[in-house]
Chains A and B, each alone.
Chain A
Amino acid sequence: MTAAAVVLQTHGLVKRFGGITATDHVNLSITQGARHALIGPNGAGKTTLINLITGVLPQSEGRITLEGADITDLAPHQRVSRGLVRTFQINQLFSGMTPMETLTMVVSQHRGLGSRWWQSLGQDKSVVERCGQLLEQFRLTDVMHQRTEQMPYGKRRLLEMAIALACEPRVLLLDEPVAGVPAGEREELLHTVSALPADVSVVLIEHDMDLVFEFADRITVLVNGAVLTEGTPSDISQDPQVKAVYLGHGEGAHA
């Protein structure tokens, strides 16, 4: 059995805020095509870890490699152009733009057209086509001309995901993608997450255990900023340490 290639790896990642160690020597390894979940109680440092990996927060110690290359000193936008993309737990959208404008802009930027000032935004046919594809894929066609600030929450969450996908990620970090989404609209979102192409490696932060067990082939448990344990879903669900940490929370743990 050939071992799958490692696409994303953190080496002894540490983050300190004054006296608090938010991330404690984390070694995370994501393989090609993984469906990897990152779980842990509130305050375990999951989002901080994502912020470190994407470069939004500078690390106190440690290194990060993406497809073998050391990206520790790269700026956030440079990491994105290498295929490391994330979504946010709280929607981070562009309030003044419509989904159509947003996605066209993101696709343009991603294809290296972002600095072109003499062309019109809709001029490149392939860009517009891709935008149309994404709008359909994420069922946003009916709201594509609405300004983001006026869209219903579920649609905004879909747009949040669409934006990430428009960047053609090689490694996708999803931070609680279904958080706050009403039960009826979760299906749409979940369906899209599982329909992601197999060569995209996905790391999912999630509290909903049903979703985690359904989606992940590997789970890392983070507690107090450090990795408690890592393994397959069946390993984790039977691990007594993990059960102790989640004591009182059964399946379908709520955030």
Chain B
Amino acid sequence: MTILFDGIAYGMLLFILAVGLSVTMGLMNFINLAHGAFAMVGGYLTVVLMQRFDVPFLVCLPLAFVGTALLGAVLERTLYRQMYRKPHLDQVLFSIGLAFMAVASVDYFVGSQQQIMQLPEWLKGRTELGTGTPWELGMGHYRLFIIAVCAALTVGLQYVLSATRFGSRLRASVDDPRVAAGLGINVNVVFAMTFAVGSGLAGLGGALGAEVLGLDPTFPLKFMVYFLIVVAVGGTSSITGPLLAALLLGVADVAGKYYVPKLGAFIVYSLMLAILMWRPQGLFVRQGGK
């Protein structure tokens, strides 16, 4: 049960990290391999704020979101926008290039050692429930916190998508940008905002995840694969798809590493391969979706 719990926490974290990528792919048809770099930026921002400026952890989280979102907005406007029409290979190369630059810069300025996140006291610790395998449930408080925050964000996202005007504009633009533009929707603004929010979420995820996943300059490359798996399996036409994919991935990874440690991530990769072979468009694509 603890494994399930940990897996869910991991999965929810992955979801928050990857949802921006999924929406960007679905909306702008852009393969952004630099997405992991935004997460890294959020993580490092938090660490720097906490260590140098003594900003409390809880305050850092929204700051990480805002800071990364701003960075995303700027980059979208200046660089990314010109890339939308380019072939996928070019987009891959471009975003790998950005990721490399980010990784190298961080390595140069901050150093390559793992960053230690000092959690506030009330988030440390564990609660034990139940007895006897497999029912015993050890809930790390921090993981509980992660689940809570991510769940809240997911609900919020779903609300925005389905109940607000921005949400319907976004959905229209994903469905068909040309028609949406013809309806008077300012697609550029939708793109910019979506990219910013997606990057912001990644940054938030990076901040949240630093304690659980580790934080060093290789973060973007190491975890990019996982984000891509979430998007490829979960599809880009909804947010429930990536959510389920992320949860599946999280649980599979934690369970795999616990029960068959020798194989490591083999289970996850094989699972992904099998799923993509069976359903090349992803597991959760609605009929006629991209």
Q: Which A residues contact B (CB, under 8 angstroms)?
A: 17-18
Assembled-state Cα–Cα distance A3/B143 (Å): 80
Q: Does B287 contact A (CB under 8 A)?
A: yes
Which residues of B are at the interface with A, using a C-beta cutoff of 8 A?
A: 287-288
Contacts of A18 in B (CB 8 A): 287-288
> How long is the Cα–Cα vector from A18 to B288 in the complex, in angstroms?
9
> How long is the Cα–Cα vector from A17 to B287 in the complex, in angstroms?
9
- Smallest CB separation, A17 vs chain B (Å): 7
Q: Which 3 A-B pairs have the closest CB atoms?
A: A18-B287, A17-B288, A18-B288
Measured CB to CB, the closest approach of chain A to B287, in angstroms, equals 6
CA distance A18 to B287 in the complex (A): 8
A-B contact count (CB 8 A): 3
Nearest to A18 among chain B residues (CB) is: B287
Q: List 3 A-B contacts (CB under 8 A).
A: A17-B288, A18-B287, A18-B288
Minimum CB–CB distance for B88 against chain A, Å: 16
Contacts of B287 in A (CB 8 A): 18
| CA A104 to CA B210, docked complex, whole Å | 59
Residues of B within 8 A of A17 (CB): 288
Closest to B287 in A: A18
Q: Please name the residue on chain B nearest to A17 by beta carbon.
A: B288
Bound together, the chains give a CA A17 to CA B288 distance in angstroms of 9
B85 to chain A, nearest CB (A): 14
State in angstroms the CA–CA spacing of A17 and B286 once bound together: 13
Q: What is the bound-complex CA distance between A91 and B72, given in angstroms?
A: 38
Point out the residues of chain A lying under 8 angstroms from B288, CB to CB.
17-18
Give chain A nearest CB distance to B178 CB in angstroms: 15
Q: How far is the CA of A83 from the CA of B288 in the complex (A)?
A: 31
A90 → chain B closest CB, angstroms:
15
Determine how close the nearest CB of chain B comes to the CB of A219; give it in whole angstroms. 32
Q: How far is the CB of A15 from chain B (nearest CB, A)?
A: 14
Query: Least Cβ distance of B179 to chain A in Å?
Result: 16
Q: B244 CB to closest chain A CB, in angstroms? A: 23
Considering the chains assembled together, what is the distance between the CA atoms of A104 and B212 in angstroms?
60
> What is the minimal beta-carbon distance from A21 to any residue of chain B, in angstroms?
15
In the assembled complex, the Cα of A18 lies from the Cα of B286 at a distance in Å of 11
Tell me the complex Cα distance, A78–B287, Å. Answer: 28
Q: How many whole Å from A1's CB to the nearest CB in chain B?
A: 48
How far apart are the CA atoms of A29 and B288 in the complex, in Å? 31
User: What is the CA–CA distance of A141 and B287 in the complex, to the nearest angstrom?
Assistant: 45
> What distance in Å separates the Cβ of A69 from its nearest Cβ neighbour in chain B?
31
**Whole-angstrom CA separation of A89 from B144 in the bound complex:** 57
Tell me, rounded to whole Å, the shortest Cβ–Cβ distance linking A149 to chain B. 13
Closest Cβ–Cβ distance, residue B71 to chain A (whole Å): 36
Kindly provide the distance from the CB of A43 to the nearest chain B CB, expressed in whole angstroms. 16
Query: Least Cβ distance of B237 to chain A in Å?
Result: 15
Distance of A247 from chain B, by nearest CB (Å): 27
